Amino acid sequence: MNELAQVLKLTLHEKRDVALAIVFGVLAGLASVALLASSGYLISKAALTGQMTVLIVIGACLKLFGLGSAVSRYSERLFSHRATFTMLGNLRVSFFEKLSPLAPELYSKYRSGDLLARIIGDVESLQNFLLRVFYPPIVLLLVFSGTILFTMYFSVYTAILLAVGYLLTAIVVPAYFAWRKRRRNWKTRESRGALSAEAAEFLYGFRDLKIYRQLAGKEQQLARLAESYNEEQRSEGKEEVYSQSANGFIALLVSLAILASGAYFTAAVELDGLFLAMLVMISLGVFENVAPMAAFPAHFEESRKAAVRLESVVGEKPREKGIDELPEGSLSISAKNVGYVFPGEQRPALEDITIDLPPGSKTAIVGPSGSGKSTLLAVLMDILPASSGHVLFNGISSEEFPQESIWQRLNVVLQENHFFQGTLRSNLQIADPSATDEQLASAMEKVELGGFSLEMDVEEKGQNLSGGEKQRLAIARAILKKGEVWMLDEPVSSVDSKTGQLIYERLFEGQPDKTFIVVSHDLTGLEKMDQIIVLEDGRLIEIGSYNELMRSKGYFYGLKEIEQQVMA
Amino acid sequence: MKDLKQLAFEQKIAITLLTVMSVLKGAAMIGQAVFFVLVADGVFIKGKDFGEITPFLFGLLLAIIVRSAAGYLIGRTGVDMAAAIKRQLRLKLINSFKEDPLLSSAESHSGQKVSLLMDAVDETDGFFSKYIPQLIQSYIIPIMLLAAIVSQNWTTGLIILVTAPFIPVFMAIVGKRTKEKADEKMEQLNRFSGTFLDILQGLTTLRLFGQGKKQKDKIEESSKNFRDSTVDVLKSAFLSSLTLEYISMLSIGIIALEVGLRLVVFDNLSFFSAFLIMILVPDFFTMLKDFGSAFHTARGSVSASQMMDEEFSKERKQVVWGETELAEGKVPHLSLENLHFAYNPQFELRDVSIDIEPYSKIAVIGKSGSGKTTLMHLIAGLLPIKEGSLLIDGKPQEEIEESSWFKQFSYISQSPYLFAGTIRENIAIGADRETSRKEIDEAAEKAGISELISSLPQGYETAVGEGGRGLSGGEKQRIALARAFLKKPTIVLFDEPTTGLDLQTERVLQQSIEELSRYATVITVAHRLHTIRNADSIVFLDDGRVAAAGTHEELAANFEPYRNLLPLPQGGAPR
Ligand SMILES: Nc1ncnc2c1ncn2[C@@H]1O[C@H](COP(=O)(O)OP(=O)(O)OP(=O)(O)O)[C@@H](O)[C@H]1O
Ligand SMILES: Nc1ncnc2c1ncn2[C@@H]1O[C@H](COP(=O)(O)OP(=O)(O)OP(=O)(O)O)[C@@H](O)[C@H]1O
Ligand SMILES: [Mg+2]
Ligand SMILES: [Mg+2]
């Protein structure tokens, strides 16, 4: 039950609704038992006496109980569902809160949208926790207690049998099935995950699969996974039917026992036969309340697993960070002996990097593909934590500041950028929700996207935009943010050189006082940069202005030579 | 798609089994009640001793066993039926995904499609595992119970006949009102989960833009709103079960009173009959109530199946293929004649005519968004041509056999996809034949990625793609390029193959591409002058139209926009 403690806590947030749901649940249960009991009593009494009054009194009781039961049932449903949906909301928020600080690092580890989809499934499946796991046993306990107390007055044996019946149907049988479930360990969730991951891959990789004529093979694989998911579901469904039938069977057996014992004691004149029918009706009625317990094992196991899985994702401790705010004003960034090793890797992606980026400086990072340019940028902007050394903002270690306070000051364009389903406007407004249409349009103009309407639909992941359009949209979004440090990772690699140059010029010339750090493969135009950082294999091998580097005739000079040859 | 009920009734064996078991269950329910009453009547009224009623107890035990067993079998049959039909639906969906042209498949809404395959199909489960068995039972069992009741006391039967029809009537009235709202909610729920997913995927972006906290508030708020409106809908749903519950409770009360009256005042009913009726009547109403709740489940299934229907009936502009096989290993002559294509009114590719000789090198250039990628997709036969034609060795593409065409070429797209799997698997996917280690090595070498691979501890067996080791942008690009070198195609399409690569790597690649072009036609989209200069023909696209075509020298001399697009040094001569 430990795993569910957190969910329980969130559920109990809604104390009032949960309490009301329980109260009404108990009332409804008791009223329906009372209804059957009084009808049983009524006919027995009627069979013996000719008194009209008794009949009328009991008849009135019947109606009262009937109405009471119906109304309580209604209220119970209302409150329990309200509580459930509130809890689900709380759960989402609390999960989001926990996930949020882990975001960039966690994603570099999983990065799969499918993992997220599974997470959502888990959150969603916890909505059954209150309705089907937490509160049926409680309601059942109270209903049975009330009923048992009542029957005790008439027949101790019946009361004892009811108690035994309760133990069997509400505790022993569900516990047994929960145990079976745990032991058999259905792979339904896992096979579901596998199927949805494979389906996502099928769709995302559709073009490549088609071109390489792998569609048929993948389709078969998908069909196989669908099959095995289906089989798991089937066998789990059967288990549930089994548990339901077993529970119902035992409840009927207990009623049989109550009838037998009642008959025995009536025959032995130890029990007034007048109550026999009533007791039988009570037992039939009270066991009707047990039905939800049949689904308990499934939901319990499901909730437990969901909670465990969620915990394993968000259970990781976020990095320890200070809570200082980054001071206003100009921002200098520097790296001191920074190194970075990706989790699970032996070879460092960055080693011993020391650089200085004063306010207003323009820096280019160049180097072969895979040399660590993107990684360096990620460490500088505190998306990845330096494994060794420090990144300093105004001379203070980045560890002292929350990530948000740093990011607030940066305009970032990553190598791959996420766009949200919506419109161009909604995607731009992420940078500045209060931006006016003129501001949005002017940002679009600056990246040569002026021809697009702000209302244009943007599909999932920006798939209906061309490669270069996506890059330019990402720049436009960053323009709207108005931070003082620009960090750009190959922002125009898919844009034609002319437009690319134009955009660069507008960025640099429009805001001379801002700091720029640009990763680029294009060596033209680097003359204008204050410094050029050359990376190779994660190490900084050269640093200096264009002229310095050309003079020293080192690596950069070599690159330039190649460029000349290629161009010539 | 046929509607769900029809799908269910196609499962003849299951339906027969359900019917037989329902009859058995009904009989057992009656038997159970009879034995209950025989026992009570025996000791209470007739004053029999315990020994005399023991046979009834055994009879009761038997009835209980039969009832439970029949119930169990009904449940199992339902589960089996659901499994069989869900299997059909999934296979059908997968097939329909496969048949999509590029236009509506990989490019958009993959999330929704996955959810269709997973959630919508699962949503139909209740229809087959709960609703249908319940439906059959409620056709059979209440009638049996009613017959039993009438046999004891026809007036009770009359009361039931009067009150019971209120249940479906009320349900219909309340249900109709809720239905629309419920469908709307269902859609809202789907949208909401979709947004939540989108938010989670873009969480880094959101935080980078300082929107993390705001999103939290937004989630909180939309959850709250969603809760309130859902509870609204549920209120009316619950109201229908309230009426159901109330009518049944009321009927039980009335019947008890009626039976009591007959017992007391008219004295024309035996205790046996009275008690039997009092056990059977609640059973009767429970059956109806169960049907009511199964009905609610079914409604969810129905809207899920409507969503699937939409997917199945979606109009697909498929790429049409024919029967003529292309000769293997022969480089075909391609010619595009007045091609037209439009995604939507905003962008249109028009009047594209290009002649592509075997073994020629074609470069496609143009501003970002001018339609280069679109053109490549059309040449590849991934998008349906709207007007005009693509002739392959003089034959229209529609007559060519699909797989013989795809066998011929490689296409390295602007954003190639790496599959979850090892590097070897990701390269080997390029050739659909057995490939030796050496071939893969060579392909990696040509793509300039072998050095990196050999530096990895697990080499070619390193897992990449989803859940695997991360790679830099250029590294991913080169792994995808290796696919083309492995395949040895006769036509190669490159969409900006060297984006994000440094010059040195690019030079390695350039050589490999040069080599490839000795055996194949190479069509390249490029932004850099040096990649296109040696092309036999350069096609300049502007806003979906071929603005000019010719060699570098021709264009540089005569075509102003070409000179403007590429950063040529003053004087127009290449640097
Ligand atoms: N998630 C990861 N896990 C392990 N290694 C990684 C991961 N991401 C990148 N790497 C490795 O770290 C090194 C540096 O990668 P990085 O992305 O910084 O290169 P880059 O210089 O930006 O290259 P490119 O120009 O191709 O984008 C590469 O060797 C890459 O394989
Ligand atoms: N799936 C799609 N649905 C709707 N419109 C699309 C889709 N894909 C591309 N477009 C639009 O069609 C136009 C041409 O896109 P295309 O991808 O062919 O451009 P491109 O020349 O390859 O540009 P880039 O150099 O930026 O990659 C663009 O305006 C783009 O927004
Ligand atoms: Mg990079
Ligand atoms: Mg493109």
ipTM: 0.83
Which residues face A390 on adjacent strands?
A336
CA distances from B491 to B331, B403, B540 (A): 7, 14, 20
Token pair 């206003």: residue:
A328
Binary contact (B483, A213; C-beta < 8 A): no
Contact between residue B42 and residue B285 where contact means Cβ atoms under 8 Å apart: no
Closest Cα to residue B506, out of B447, B426, B557? B447
CA A36, A38, A44, A47 dihedral sign is negative
Q: What DSSP character marks residue A362?
A: E
SS3 B465: coil
Distance B357 CA to ligand 2 centre (A): 27
Task: Classify residue B297 by burial, with Cβ atoms within 10 Å: 0-12, 13-18, 19+.
Answer: middle
Q: What DSSP character marks residue B129?
A: I
B201 → closest Cβ in A113, A262, A285? A113
B499 → closest Cβ in A408, A493, A563? A493
Q: Residues of B with CB below 8 A from A262's CB? A: 40
Q: Residues of A with CB below 8 A from B80's CB? A: 234
Q: Is B101 on the interface with A (CB under 8 A)?
A: no
pLDDT at site B575: 31
As given in the structure block, the two tokens for residue B548 are: 């000019």
Note down pLDDT in tens along chain A; length 568 residues.
567 777 777 777 778 888 999 999 999 999 988 888 888 888 788 777 767 777 778 778 878 888 888 889 889 888 888 888 888 788 878 877 877 777 766 665 654 555 666 677 777 778 788 888 888 888 999 999 999 999 888 888 889 999 999 998 888 988 898 888 888 777 777 788 788 888 888 887 888 888 888 888 888 999 999 999 999 989 988 988 998 899 899 999 998 998 888 888 888 877 787 888 888 888 888 888 888 887 888 888 888 888 887 777 777 777 777 788 878 888 899 999 999 998 888 889 999 999 999 998 999 999 888 899 989 999 998 888 899 999 999 888 888 888 888 888 888 898 888 888 888 998 998 888 888 999 999 999 989 888 888 888 888 778 888 888 999 999 999 999 888 899 999 888 888 888 888 888 888 888 888 899 999 887 777 888 899 999 999 999 999 999 998 898 888 888 888 777 766 6
Token pair 């050496």: residue:
B438
Alpha carbon distance A556, B2 (integer Å):
68
The CA distance from A524 to the nearest CA of chain B, in Å, is: 10
Token pair 């949960």: residue:
A18
pLDDT at site B424: 92
Residues with CB under 5 A from ligand 4 (ion): A 466-467; B 373, 414
As given in the structure block, the two tokens for residue B10 are: 């196609």
Taking CA–CA distances from A407, the nearest residue in chain B reads B208
pLDDT at site B35: 92
CA A265, A269, A274, A275 dihedral sign is negative
Q: Residues of B with CB below 8 A from A97's CB? A: 216
Q: If phi over 0 gives left and psi between -120 and 50 gives alpha, with beta otherwise, what is residue A529? A: beta
Q: ∠ CA(A57), CA(A60), CA(A62), 5° rounding? A: 110
Cβ count near B166 (within 10 Å):
16
> Which atom of ligand 1 has the smallest separation from the CA of B475?
26
pLDDT at site A202: 85
Torsion of CA B563, B569, B573, B575, to 10 degrees: -120
Alpha carbon distance A548, A129 (integer Å):
67
Q: Which alpha helices (DSSP H) does A488-554 contain, by range?
A: 497-510, 546-552
Contact between residue B408 and residue B358 where contact means Cβ atoms under 8 Å apart: no
Alpha carbon distance A452, A441 (integer Å):
9
pTM: 0.81
Q: Residues of B with CB below 8 A from A249's CB? A: 64-65, 68
Q: What DSSP character marks residue B12?
A: H
Q: Which candidate in A90, A115, A155, A211 is best for mutational testing of the B interface (most B CBs within 10 A)?
A: A211
Q: Is A456 on the interface with B (CB under 8 A)?
A: yes
CA distances from A184 to A110, A133, B269 (A): 28, 20, 54
Rounded CA Rg of chain A? 35
Binary contact (A199, B113; C-beta < 8 A): yes
Q: Which alpha helices (DSSP H) does A315-436 contain, by range?
A: 373-380, 403-407, 424-428
- Cβ < 6 Å from ligand 2: which residues? A 464-469, 494; B 107, 343-344, 347, 366, 368-374, 414
Question: Any long-range contacts for A160-167 (C-beta under 8 Å, 24+ apart)?
Answer: A161/A254, A161/A257, A161/A258, A161/A261, A161/A283, A162/A254, A162/A258, A162/A282, A162/A283, A162/A286, A164/A254, A165/A250, A165/A251, A165/A254, A165/A255, A165/A283, A165/A287, A166/A140, A166/A141
B118 → closest Cβ in A92, A196, A256? A196
Q: Are strands A422-423 and A410-413 parallel, antiparallel or unpaired?
A: unpaired
Alpha carbon distance B174, A376 (integer Å):
63
Q: What is the DSSP string of A178-198?
A: HHHHHHHT--HHHHHHHHHHH
Q: Is A86 on the interface with B (CB under 8 A)?
A: yes
For B210-222, the pLDDT digits (tens) are 887 777 887 788 7
Length of chain A counted residue by residue: 568
pLDDT at site B569: 41
Distance B473 CA to ligand 3 centre (A): 5
Q: Is B39 on the interface with A (CB under 8 A)?
A: yes
Q: Are strands A515-519 and A485-489 parallel, antiparallel or unpaired?
A: parallel
Q: Which candidate in B174, B209, B449 is best for mutational testing of the A interface (most A CBs within 10 A)?
A: B209
Alpha carbon distance A282, A274 (integer Å):
14
As given in the structure block, the two tokens for residue B321 are: 């293929």
Alpha carbon distance B218, A53 (integer Å):
62
Distance B383 CA to ligand 2 centre (A): 13
pLDDT at site A322: 77
pLDDT at site B44: 82
> Which atom of ligand 2 has the smallest separation from the CA of B371?
18
CA distances from A181 to A102, A174, A175, A295, B524 (A): 33, 10, 10, 12, 57
Window A:264-293, CB contacts with B under 8 Å: 264, 266-268, 273-274, 276-277, 280-281, 284-285, 288
Q: Is B82 on the interface with A (CB under 8 A)?
A: yes
Contacts of B169 (CB under 8 A, 6+ apart): none
Contact between residue B166 and residue B247 where contact means Cβ atoms under 8 Å apart: yes
Q: ∠ CA(B216), CA(B219), CA(B223), 5° rounding? A: 145
CA B464, A370, A469, A428 dihedral sign is positive
Candidate of A365, A373, A471, A539 to mutate for ligand 1, largest count of ligand atoms within 8 Å of Cβ: A373
Contacts of A56 (CB under 8 A, 6+ apart): none
List, for chain B, all residue ranges whose pLDDT scores fall below the cut of 70.
1-2, 101-111, 171-172, 174-194, 197, 315, 467, 566-575
Report the b/e string of B9-31 with b at 16+ CB within 10 A: eebeebbebbeebbbbbbbbbbb
A213 → closest Cβ in B209, B260, B403? B403
For B105-150, the pLDDT digits (tens) are 444 466 677 778 887 888 888 889 988 999 999 889 999 999 999 9
Distance A368 CA to ligand 1 centre (A): 11
Contact between residue B375 and residue B551 where contact means Cβ atoms under 8 Å apart: no
Alpha carbon distance A467, A471 (integer Å):
7
Q: If phi over 0 gives left and psi between -120 and 50 gives alpha, with beta otherwise, what is residue B381? A: left
pLDDT at site B22: 95
Q: Is the CB of A237 under 6 A from ligand 1?
A: no
3-class SS shares of chain B: helix, strand, coil, % to 5 = 65, 10, 25
pLDDT at site A460: 75
